[in-house]
Amino acid sequence: MSGNNAFPLMFAALSFAVFALSAFARDDPFADIEIHVIDDSGVAVEDAELSVWFENFNQLDNVEVKGTTDKKGIFAVRHRAQVGRVFVSIGKAKHYPTSGYANVQDFPDRGKEYEKAFARDRWSEFPVKAEFVLKRIFEPKRLTFHSVDPKPFPVIGKAFAIDLETLEWCPPYGNGKHEDATLIFESWQDPDHRLSFRRKLTVTMPNAADGFYVAKMDSRSAFPYAYRADTNAVYRKYGELLFDRREERILEQRFLADDEYLIFRTRTVTNSEGRVTSAHYGRVGENPSHMFGLRAAVWFNPDENDTNLEDKWH
């Protein structure tokens, strides 16, 4: 490096170091956060134990603040910390643990809002309120559970049946005893283009009153699913998973979202008035896929007419 270039670079580096030291020499602004904890019925949870982590830029010096909720289910945190994300873990006996970020979108951006936070000595103009649901433990039972990843489809372009209790293909392709759902897998591949292909899985529930509906996960909870199947829900008899790609462009795709899963009803018996008198319930999670065979996780309640889906091992 020539002498003419060395001095300006050294001066610039020194100036940056002085700026950085002066910036970080200041006390971090206060994080003013109210964490509200309620149970699955909306009632405030008293004496829940919280662990609140303030994440720093380098992720090496994260600061933990612990506490418990008051009678209103509130734990107020006022702590000096770098403006950033806050991760919360919550627990209490007879409840499923809950964890997640505390309304990250409400916090000032680390970039343009950083100086504003220093100027007011607070992360935000008003206290940030973050609500968490701590779900109660009710009646967990041992559901039948099976997962496949992946399970090759027995035939292409023709209907075949699957037993949802055992995740086995039904005869003549396997040992399944109940035709809980009928599947048709269709596959197309362009022989001249490796990235041009189409995969489609059509699912039909054969019985008149059988079907499924889409439910949302509570991703913060250790038990993210619904406690029970909703007998008043609209159970769909038909659905598709689809991925259609032509060279570098995806034309169409239909999958469940990452926070969605299926609740199903099968082996349904109805009376002369069309009312359900007997049925089995279960759920399909783990974002089922069909790209290279069936990939799915299925929980099945073996007890007739029992809508409970609170699996003991979930």
What are the tens digits of pLDDT across the range 205-239? 988 899 999 999 999 999 999 999 999 999 999 99
- CATH code: domain of residue 120: 2.60.40.1120
Distance CA 103, CA 132 (A): 10
Look up the pTM and report it. Answer: 0.83
Q: What is the pLDDT of residues 38-72, one digit of tens each?
A: 999 999 999 999 999 988 765 557 889 999 999 99
pLDDT at 12: 47
The answer to whether the CB of 139 falls within 8 A of the CB of 310 is yes
Distance CA 143, CA 310 (A): 8
Same domain, 234 and 99: no
Of residues 134 and 104, more confidence is placed in: 134
Among candidate residues 133, 164, 181, the one where a domain is terminated: 133
Distance CA 38, CA 61 (A): 30
Of residues 78 and 23, more confidence is placed in: 78
Whether 314 has a pLDDT exceeding 70, the answer reads no
Same domain, 273 and 295: yes
**225 within a domain of the structure (yes/no):** yes
Tokens read off for 98: 């809950």
**16 within a domain of the structure (yes/no):** no
Q: Read off the amino acid at residue 32.
A: D
The answer to whether the CB of 97 falls within 8 A of the CB of 89 is yes
Q: What is the pLDDT of residues 86-107, one digit of tens each?
A: 899 999 999 999 999 986 544 5
Distance CA 254, CA 297 (A): 18
User: DSSP assignment, residue 106?
Assistant: G
Angle at alpha carbon of residue 202, lines to 254 and 231, rounded to 5°: 85
pLDDT at 58: 59
> How buried is residue 40: exposed, middle or buried, by Cβ count under 10 Å (0-12/13-18/19+)?
middle
pLDDT at 60: 59
Q: What is the mean pLDDT of residues 80-90?
A: 86
**19 within a domain of the structure (yes/no):** no
Same domain, 151 and 214: yes
**238 within a domain of the structure (yes/no):** yes
In this structure, what are the phi and psi dihedrals at residue 109, rounded to the nearest 5 degrees?
-65, 140
Distance CA 99, CA 48 (A): 12
Q: What is the pLDDT of residues 243-291, one digit of tens each?
A: 999 877 898 998 999 899 999 999 999 998 889 999 999 999 878 899 8
pLDDT at 4: 54
Same domain, 42 and 177: no
Same domain, 190 and 295: yes
> H-helix or E-strand containing 3?
helix 3-25
**Poorest-confidence range of 10-14, 136-140, 251-255, 274-278?**
10-14
Domain count, the chain: 2
Q: What is the mean pLDDT of residues 300-312?
A: 95
Percent of the chain topping pLDDT 70: 86
User: DSSP assignment, residue 141?
Assistant: B
Same domain, 109 and 153: no
Q: Sign of the CA dihedral 64, 68, 74, 80?
A: negative
Same domain, 165 and 285: yes
Cα-based torsion angle of the residue sequence 20, 21, 23, 24 in order, rounded to the nearest 10 degrees: 110
Same domain, 113 and 189: no
Same domain, 113 and 163: no
- 227-241 burial, b at 16+ Cβ within 10 Å, e below that, comes to bbbeeeeebbeebeb
**139 within a domain of the structure (yes/no):** no
Same domain, 55 and 127: yes
Domain that holds residue 45: 27-133
pLDDT at 20: 44
In this structure, what are the phi and psi dihedrals at residue 143, rounded to the nearest 5 degrees?
-85, 160
**51 within a domain of the structure (yes/no):** yes
